[in-house]
Amino acid sequence: MSRPQDSTAARWHGAAQLVGLVRAEPGITRATAAQRLGISSGGATDLVARLRAHELLDEVPAPSKGRGRPTTVLQPHARGPLVIAADLRPKDWSLALADIGGQPKFVTPTPLDSPDPAQLVAEVASAIRDAYDREPGRVRAVSVSVAGTVSDDRLVQFTPRGWSDVDLSPLTAALPRHLDIPLLIGNDATLAGLAEARTGAAHGAGTALHLMIGVGLGGALVVDGVPAMGAHGAAGEYGHIPFGDPSQVCPCGAQGCWDLTIDGRALARHIGEKAPVDPIAYARGIAGGNNLSDNRIRGAFDAVATSIGRGIAGLVNLHDPDVVTLGGLAPTLRGAASDSFDAAYRQGLMAFRKNAAPPVLDGLHGDDGPLHGAVAIGLDHVTSEQSLAEWARQ
């Protein structure tokens, strides 16, 4: 026998499907939504009226396109549920609010100045509480992207800052307890991959592989719009596959990590310079300079692009994706030595893949990909049958 909450959620199944269509197809009409859901016009009218009464969806006139009968489209209700999304990066952090439509409204990035991770957590927690107070009762989830390795609600490694084992659970400690607002935490590359699969360069692909280079490399395998997160949310640490020199020790504690061969640290090593304090800025500066004809610099980019291409080929052999997307520094590093990348990618593929190799595309969301992904996982929670039923009750 099903539990009461299960039967309640089941009654919201059709509503969740309609909300999902509004998320996936902005500007969809009621008639088109009825066709997609396989329900009658009258059923769609009743469903929209019900969601409007619960301040979840609204129906408004579409932008005018000249003569003809006015059209109405479905959109998120102006007083509907919200998600707070945060993005913690090596040098700053930002916050955004998003409704069911999924388009984040950004808050100006804030520099990450404190050397104390506890102070950063307190600062971001205060901003989350302020955002909640501006829209009391509407926030139903808080999702956080972190440029580091996460396991459950802990940041276990944040290489750019040298931090480890940081408890992120206090980020929502100041929010009202009775609402039981969940804290959803993910790695930035994983969430960027989700964003590319849902609304970016991999949209429509059944299986997509996303790789993002910053200080090291992370990524995600996304199947039917769902990223493989692992048992504790720490999947996708592709940079720690031993594709590199086994004599080199990685900050993660392992030896021979791919990480050490594909970013600004690797460029500096090949050029013969000391390890940069900011590997991201260093790589961008070198790539954007006018010295790519210098043999040492040319050779450094060739070596890095070769390592990226060979590693991606190995992952394609492993995962069999429809498409590979790149984020962070990866498009820049590939572009600086595209011939070397292409040769290494093709050479690393199994023979049967060479004539139909998955395309490797630059991501569409750029540096905002992780925040878009954080919004997406927050809305996945908010728009579930159970969450919609709870919103209606409250």
Q: Looking at residue 114, which CATH number applies to its domain?
A: 3.30.420.40
- Is residue 212 assigned to a domain? yes
Element (H, E) at 346: helix 338-348
Q: How confident is the model at residue 1 (pLDDT cuts 50, 70, 90)?
A: very low
Q: How confident is the model at residue 394 (pLDDT cuts 50, 70, 90)?
A: confident
Render pLDDT for 67-81 as a digit per residue (tens, 0 to 9): 656 688 999 999 999
Say if residue 336 is in the same domain as residue 381: no
Say if residue 341 is in the same domain as residue 306: yes
Render pLDDT for 223-243 as a digit per residue (tens, 0 to 9): 999 999 888 888 889 999 999
Q: Of the residues 76, 91, 109, which one is the last residue of a structural domain?
A: 76
Average pLDDT over residues 50-79: 84
**What percentage of the chain carries pLDDT values higher than 90?**
75
| Torsion from C-alpha of 30, 31, 35, 38, nearest 10 degrees | 60
- What was the pLDDT predicted at 213? 96
Q: Of the residues 40, 58, 76, which one is the last residue of a structural domain?
A: 76
Q: In what order do the strands lie in the sheet with 216-223?
A: 226-227, 216-223, 207-214, 323-328, 360-362
Say if residue 217 is in the same domain as residue 309: yes
pTM score, two decimals? 0.90
- Is residue 198 assigned to a domain? no
- Is residue 65 assigned to a domain? yes
Say if residue 230 is in the same domain as residue 342: yes
Q: How many domains does the chain have?
A: 3
Say if residue 257 is in the same domain as residue 337: yes
pLDDT at 6 over 60: no
- Is residue 286 assigned to a domain? yes
Q: What is the largest CA-CA distance in the chain?
A: 73
- Is residue 196 assigned to a domain? no
Say if residue 231 is in the same domain as residue 355: yes
Averaged pLDDT of the chain: 91
Render pLDDT for 186-221 as a digit per residue (tens, 0 to 9): 999 999 999 999 999 999 999 999 999 999 999 999
Lowest average pLDDT, out of 27-41, 152-166, 369-383, goes to 152-166
pLDDT at 7 over 60: no
- What was the pLDDT predicted at 68? 54
Say if residue 38 is in the same domain as residue 146: no
**What percentage of the chain carries pLDDT values higher than 70?**
95
Average pLDDT over residues 366-394: 94
The CA distance from 137 to 80, in Å, is 10
Query: Beta strands of 164-239 (E only): which ranges?
Result: 166-167, 183-187, 207-214, 216-223, 226-227
Say if residue 272 is in the same domain as residue 297: yes
Say if residue 49 is in the same domain as residue 16: yes
- Is residue 48 assigned to a domain? yes
Render pLDDT for 324-368 as a digit per residue (tens, 0 to 9): 999 999 999 999 999 999 999 999 999 999 999 999 999 999 999
The CB density around residue 331, as the number of other CB atoms within 10 Å, is: 17
Q: Is 210 exposed, middle or buried (0-12, 13-18, 19+ CB in 10 A)?
A: buried
Q: Of the residues 55, 76, 97, which one is the last residue of a structural domain?
A: 76
pLDDT at 2 over 50: no
Say if residue 240 is in the same domain as residue 357: yes
Most confidently modeled range among 112-126, 152-166, 311-325: 311-325
194, 201 contact by CB (below 8 A): no
Say if residue 272 is in the same domain as residue 332: yes
pLDDT at 5 over 60: no
For 259-279, give one letter per residue: b (16+ CB within 10 A) or e: bbbbbbbbbbbbeeeeebeeb
Q: How confident is the model at residue 162 (pLDDT cuts 50, 70, 90)?
A: confident
- Is residue 348 assigned to a domain? yes
Residue 207 Cα distances to 16, 145, 344, 376, angstroms: 24, 22, 22, 18
For 42, the domain range is 7-76
pLDDT at 286 over 70: yes
Say if residue 240 is in the same domain as residue 358: yes
- Is residue 195 assigned to a domain? no
Render pLDDT for 128-143 as a digit per residue (tens, 0 to 9): 999 999 998 999 999 9
Q: What is the CATH number of the domain that holds 49?
A: 1.10.10.10
| Torsion from C-alpha of 347, 352, 355, 358, nearest 10 degrees | -80
Question: What single-letter DSSP state applies at residue 64?
Answer: P
